[in-house]
Amino acid sequence: MFSPPVDLSFHNIILLSDVLEEEPRAGLRPLRRTRDHRYDTRSMKLNNNTICDLRGLHTALRHFLSQPQRLAWLDLSFNNLSHIEEVLCELHELRVLYLHGNIISELEEVNKLSVLPWLYSITLHGNHIEQKKAYRGYVISMLPMLKKMDFSAVTPDEWRLAQIWRESMGSSSMNKDK
């Protein structure tokens, strides 16, 4: 059974450096602490705050989690993030990432996450990129391990179309080089 997340949602956090003074919200199941007073969980909720950038994320993870490098589930929804920052790409165990309800406007920002080998679920709806043409297909093609997007399963047809698109983009970029 998985431990509940460290829940720092609805704390009016603007800067992640401020989070070190916060106490996680109590949930239905208690959080287990280790001997070093960190939490024995692989998930964290930082949603519904006003976070604009992720400077200090590693410090916050080290402060709260007993194994920060093993973070698997991160909720950053309903903040003020305008970019997908490189710090997220360093979370190599990340499997679920919630970014919905932010202000990300460039579809190409999603490309950065392609280095995450285990990322199988992402939410991006409620960002400006949702209005872009071929939004869903683009994201699916950039994140080949994806099984769920915006709380909906990725269908076999979507996979096939994304694969065709990836292959056509690969051959068109190769043709440009010639």
Q: State the virtual CA torsion across 98, 147, 43, 57 in degrees, nearest 10.
A: -50
Chain segment 95-108, per-residue pLDDT in tens: 999 999 999 999 99
Residue 176 DSSP one-character state = H
pLDDT tens figures, 122-152: 999 999 999 999 999 999 999 989 999 999 9
Q: What is the CA radius of gyration of the chain?
A: 17
Is the CATH number of domain 6-177 3.80.10.10? yes
The amino acid at 151: F
What residues does 152 pair with on adjacent strands? 149
The pLDDT, as a whole number, for residue 177 is 47
Residue reference for tokens 């949603």: 47
Give me the pLDDT at residue 30, please.
Answer: 84
- Stated pTM of the model: 0.92
Distance between CA atoms of 173 and 150, rounded to whole angstroms?
A: 29
Q: Is the CA virtual torsion 48, 49, 53, 56 positive or negative?
A: negative
Q: What span, in angstroms and rounded, lies between the C-alpha atoms of 59 and 46?
A: 14
